[in-house]
Every structure is written in C-alpha cells, then in structure tokens.
C-alpha cells in the first residue's frame, strides 16, 4: 500500500476542516457526508462537491472503498434502553452507531474521530468507555488523547479528544506540540482594516472596559464575558462556539472578529471561500476543527502506517 496516496471518507464533514488535514498528507476524499445544508454550501464552494446528506439514511455498501475513515461526530448521550438490551444495542440511536456500522462493513485500515473534551467525563466516563469497547470489538487498536489547538500553532484555546484506530497492531504516538517560534499570534491573524459594521456600540464597549480585569492589558487581546459578568483578556481566543451570542468574544473589547479572522483562528487557509452570511460562518467555525491539529495527527498516522508496513516487509 502506498501511504503517500490513499483514499479516505469524510463523515460529519462540516465545512471540511478534517478533510484539509488529511489532504495535506496525500489523502484523496472519495465520499463525504454532512447533514447541515449551510455547511454543505461552504463545503461545495471549497471542494467542488456537495456532501451526501443524512448518514443514517446511507447504506454502508453504497460508500466507495477507502483506507481511512475520518469524522468529528456529534456526541449524544447513549440511551439507558440500549444498555439494558446488551452490547449490540448500546450504541443504537446515536450517530456513533453509524461510524460503527460503516467500520464493520468496510473494514478500513484506520480511522480518526474527533469530539469535545468532555466526552471522556460524560456519564461518569461510561460514554467514552462504550465507544472504546465497541471500536476494540471491531479489532482495532485504539489510541485517544486530548489535544489543544493552542499547542499546534493557532491562537485559540480549543481542547478536543482525538481517537485514532488501526486494523493492524500499529504503534502510534500522538504528535508533539508545534515549536513556540512557529506558532501564530493574535497579531498574525487580525485583519488590518476592518469594516465599521464589526464594531460594537459605544455603550457595550464602555460596559466591557469598566469590567475588564486588567485595564492595562497589552493589545491586541481577545476577551470574553464569563458567567459572573467579569471580562477577562487573553493573548488568544477562547474556544469558538457554534451557539454563542455575537458578543461572546471581542477583540480589544471593541469589535467582533471578522469571518476571515474566525477561519484563521481555526487554521483555515486564506483562500478558503466564504459564501454564507456572518452568523452562519460563526456557527460553522464554532462547529469546525483546528486544521493544524488534524494535519499533525494525520501526519503521525501516515508515519505509523508506513513504519508498520516496512517492519512487516523486513520480517517477511
């Protein structure tokens, strides 16, 4: 198998952040699926294909053959009813079940799944335990680790669990953080001339500055309003969220980030096309992945697969 040129499928594809990561190491996407129509519009503008819709309605047999399955799947709680019905049914009714049935049918060499950090703590760790157990029952070696986007070159604190699996007994190490000298700062990603429409009303600005924990904090900074109402500045963005109000994060307590700045906070390239309104891009960025994290993981996966195959050849 030539791991410089492999096929993958992109499930729960969003706007294609994971796809960018796997294309960067020689991957060719042969199938994509995304439920949200606005996200599909952004995906199609950038990749020239409209993802297939609801994965729960797609027969695994109809998916082209591929080497690696990737996806950032939504985490819904696993049903109590499922647990009562025994192992085979305990993932039913969740979107993880669709990943499981596709892995079972297609038997790819590897997979990479991404989810919120809280997956490990959810339901006292039961949800993650069930996921891991089901992946291992399909005879995959499973590795999991929480990685922070801040460590991989973008100025955004975003912690996500990455779950990697291999059909063979492949030894895998998660990537090391990007050296500090190669990481982008807030100043690197901010646009120099920003339209006045991004600036907040004077009353909001005054209110935020009055509550700013450190009024002498060096600019540029990004602040957010916490539950208690205090405003804390940081030299990076807190985690972009899909559902947060428009005033959730502000740059220098003066303005909202632009569409391009939000994409840059997630490590998307500047030629990534924006074809939907502000609110939708904000939602899409909040749901997306930090591309440099995925690139680093993809690179390590391909390295591990190549090494495994070299060792098998040497032993033959």
Quote the CA–CA distance of 18 and 268 in Å, as a whole number: 11
Catalytic residue among 75, 92, 239, 285: 75
- Cα 54 vs. chain centroid, distance in angstroms? 19
Contact 164, 301 (CB under 8 A): yes
60 φ/ψ sector (left φ>0, alpha ψ -120 to 50, else beta): alpha
**220 cis-preceded (ω within 30 degrees of 0):** yes
- The answer to whether residue 29 is catalytic is no
Query: With b meaning 16 or more CB within 10 Å and e meaning fewer, what string describes 204-213?
Result: ebeebeebbe
Burial of residue 197 (CB within 10 Å: 0-12, 13-18, 19+) is exposed
| Number of CB atoms found within 10 A of residue 259's CB | 20
Through-space distance between the first and last CA atoms of the chain, rounded to whole angstroms: 15
Give the CA angle between residues 37, 43, 49 to the nearest 5°: 100
Distances 117 to 106, 114, 156 between C-alpha atoms, Å: 28, 9, 15
Strand order in the sheet with 249-251: 231-234, 222-225, 249-251
290 φ/ψ sector (left φ>0, alpha ψ -120 to 50, else beta): beta
Quote the CA–CA distance of 133 and 119 in Å, as a whole number: 14
* List of E strands, 124-230: 141-148, 159-166, 222-225
Catalytically annotated residues:
75
């Amino acid at each position: 198998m030539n791991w410089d040129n492999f096929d993958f499928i992109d499930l729960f594809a969003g706007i294609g952040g994971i796809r960018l990561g796997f294309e960067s190491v020689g991957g060719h996407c042969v199938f994509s699926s995304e439920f949200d129509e606005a996200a599909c519009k952004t995906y199609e503008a950038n990749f020239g294909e409209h993802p297939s819709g609801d994965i729960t309605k797609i027969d695994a047999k109809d998916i082209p053959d591929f080497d690696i399955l990737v996806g950032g799947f939504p985490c819904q709680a696993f049903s109590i009813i499922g647990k009562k019905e025994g192992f085979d049914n305990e993932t039913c009714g969740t979107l993880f079940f669709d990943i499981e049935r596709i892995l079972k049918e297609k038997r790819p060499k590897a997979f990479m799944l991404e989810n919120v950090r809280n997956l490990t703590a959810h339901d006292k760790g039961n949800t993650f335990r069930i996921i891991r157990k089901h992946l291992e029952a399909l005879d995959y070696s499973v590795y999991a680790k929480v990685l922070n986007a801040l460590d991989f070159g973008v100025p955004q604190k975003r912690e996500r669990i990455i779950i990697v699996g291999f059909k063979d007994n492949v030894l895998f190490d998660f990537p090391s953080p990007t050296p500090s000298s190669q990481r982008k700062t807030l100043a690197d990603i901010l646009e120099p001339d920003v339209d006045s429409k991004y600036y907040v009303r004077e009353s909001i600005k005054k209110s935020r500055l009055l509550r700013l924990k450190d009024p002498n904090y060096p600019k540029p900074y990004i602040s957010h309003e916490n539950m208690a109402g205090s405003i804390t500045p940081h030299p990076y963005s807190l985690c972009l969220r899909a559902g947060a109000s428009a005033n959730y994060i502000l740059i220098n307590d003066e303005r909202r980030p632009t569409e391009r700045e939000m994409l840059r906070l997630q490590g998307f390239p500047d030629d990534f096309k924006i074809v939907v309104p502000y609110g939708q891009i904000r939602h899409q960025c909040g749901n997306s992945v930090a591309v440099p994290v995925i690139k680093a993981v993809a690179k390590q996966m391909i390295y591990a697969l190549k090494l495994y195959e070299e060792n098998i050849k040497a032993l033959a």
